Amino acid sequence: MEKEKSEKSICSGDIDHTETPRPWQSFHTVYTNAKAGMDGVDKEKVQRIVYDMSKGSKYFENEERKEAFMRQKIDNMRAQCAKLTPTDISQYQKVADRRILELETKRDLSRIWLHVDMDAFYAAVETLSNPSLKGKPMAVGGMSMISTANYEARRFGVRAAMPGFIACKLCPELIFVPVDFKKYTYYSDITRKVFQTYDPNFMAASLDEAYLDITDVCKERSMTSGEIAKELRTTIFEETGLTCSAGVGSNRLLAKVCSDINKPNGQFVLPNDRMAVMTFISSLPIRKIGGIGKVTEHILRDVLGINTCEDMLQKGGLLCALFSRSTADFFLSVGLGLGQTEIPQVRSRKSISNERTFSSTEDEASFDQKLADLAEMLSVDMQKEGLSGRTLTLKLKTTTFEVRTRAVTLTKVYLLK
């Protein structure tokens, strides 16, 4: 009986029910998750302000719907967990042990991956264009939504994807600068030319980040990965006047995590050594891993008591019992510090898109202009990539956060001009 109690308790997670949380404490929002430059932020203060400023808004209603959905998923998972007998858990643990051994055989320590992340990219570009902004809290965007915030603003809890009116409450001295994607694309193109000198097949993850396989360049130049990272960061600064942070690891997952360790304008190298990888990954919070978002984090934490990557291995049996094979394998791979190392095969692109967030409006002429601007930007992007298209899709997100789409398929392929 004691063993059964012990096994069952694993499924409940580590939750303290002794004190009833206040409304704002149960309001889970991405705004309070730590980003570079936000380590010293008073999270409770930020969460309370976000709650108070959002309450009654369409955004708040949408967040409540998402919260209800997340709670339902957690409840369902707990119900599944409660049905597992000690025998079930023992059997699934054997499955997990076998999969861990199989995954371990795929560990590849022969490649060296570098992840480069520009520091507060949009904000940094705007400061470069207007030096008077230096040292002042500033955000790119407007009262409806922020695209990014500089490090001075992040100290107040201001960050990307936050409505500007909330940011102003957190930081009354905040300066807003309108978005200028042409400017950001210009600087992004310069950085990509630098990347190409180190890895002609680099993977651009967005305008401001990329993955580079620097295995060959390290050998060719007889340089360490740390030396290559430093040289690349120096070159980018000389070419653009912008700083970036870098992470080096044996796979792309680790390299990305490492690039966030010494931001801004720093780097971190994780040796291509199994023991070093396992030590590094063991205490890493699960939310630091790409692919583990807010909902997954809460399910793993609140249902299974999983907080760190090492916990993934410790509770592998439960993961195999409650999730699909592919999902469980992903979690176990994270616990082992495994990630993609191969160079992706070049595949034909399936789609290309352009989207922007703007203030709510009922002005039809404004809508028409927004649509024309987006179509023009899409056309330019398609010409740059040498692409043609047959199906055009329009996606609209309303002020109530409903997403509506309309699509039309043309009778023949057109190259947009």
6 near 298, Cβ under 8 Å? Answer: no
Do 261 and 287 have their domain in common?
no
Q: Which helix (H) or strand (E) holds 204?
A: strand 203-206
DSSP summary character for residue 137: -
Do 264 and 287 have their domain in common?
no
Residue 127 located in a structural domain: no
Instruction: Give the active site residues.
Output: 209
Do 208 and 301 have their domain in common?
no
Reported as a single tens digit per residue, the pLDDT across 319-335 is 999 999 999 999 999 99
Residue 392, strand partner residues: 408
Q: What is the pLDDT of residue 19?
A: 52
Residue 266 located in a structural domain: yes
Query: Cis before residue 264, ω within 30 degrees of 0?
Result: yes
Average pLDDT over residues 375-379: 75
Q: What is the pLDDT of residue 383?
A: 74
Residue 136 located in a structural domain: no
Question: Binning pLDDT at 50, 70 and 90, where does residue 364 land?
Answer: confident
DSSP summary character for residue 358: -
Residue 29 located in a structural domain: yes
148 near 122, Cβ under 8 Å? Answer: yes
Residue type, 224: T
Do 287 and 262 have their domain in common?
no
Provide the number of structural domains found in the chain.
3
Average confidence score pLDDT of the chain: 86
CATH code at 325? 1.10.150.810
Residue 344 located in a structural domain: no
Do 216 and 256 have their domain in common?
yes
Residue 206, strand partner residues: 209
- 247 three-state secondary structure: strand
Q: What is the pLDDT of residue 60?
A: 79
Residue 175, strand partner residues: 138
Is residue 7's pLDDT more than 70?
no
CATH code at 373? 3.30.1490.100
251 near 340, Cβ under 8 Å? Answer: yes
Residue 374 or 241, more confident: 241
Do 208 and 247 have their domain in common?
yes
Reported as a single tens digit per residue, the pLDDT across 277-315 is 999 999 999 999 988 988 899 999 999 999 999 999 999
CATH code at 235? 3.30.70.270
Residue 135 located in a structural domain: no
Do 100 and 10 have their domain in common?
yes
Q: Residue 303 belongs to what domain range?
A: 2-106+282-336
Do 6 and 100 have their domain in common?
yes
Residue 67 located in a structural domain: yes
Residue 227 located in a structural domain: yes
Do 292 and 316 have their domain in common?
yes
Predicted model pTM: 0.83
Picking from 236, 202, 207, the residue whose alpha carbon sits closest to that of residue 217 is: 202
Average pLDDT over residues 99-115: 97
Q: Which helix (H) or strand (E) holds 93?
A: helix 86-104
Question: Binning pLDDT at 50, 70 and 90, where does residue 403 land?
Answer: confident
| Strands of 209-213's sheet in order across | 203-206, 209-213, 113-118, 244-249, 267-269
Hey, what are 199's tokens?
Answer: 């890895």
Do 379 and 316 have their domain in common?
no
| Residues 245, 227: Cα–Cα separation, whole Å | 14
Do 236 and 329 have their domain in common?
no
Do 51 and 102 have their domain in common?
yes
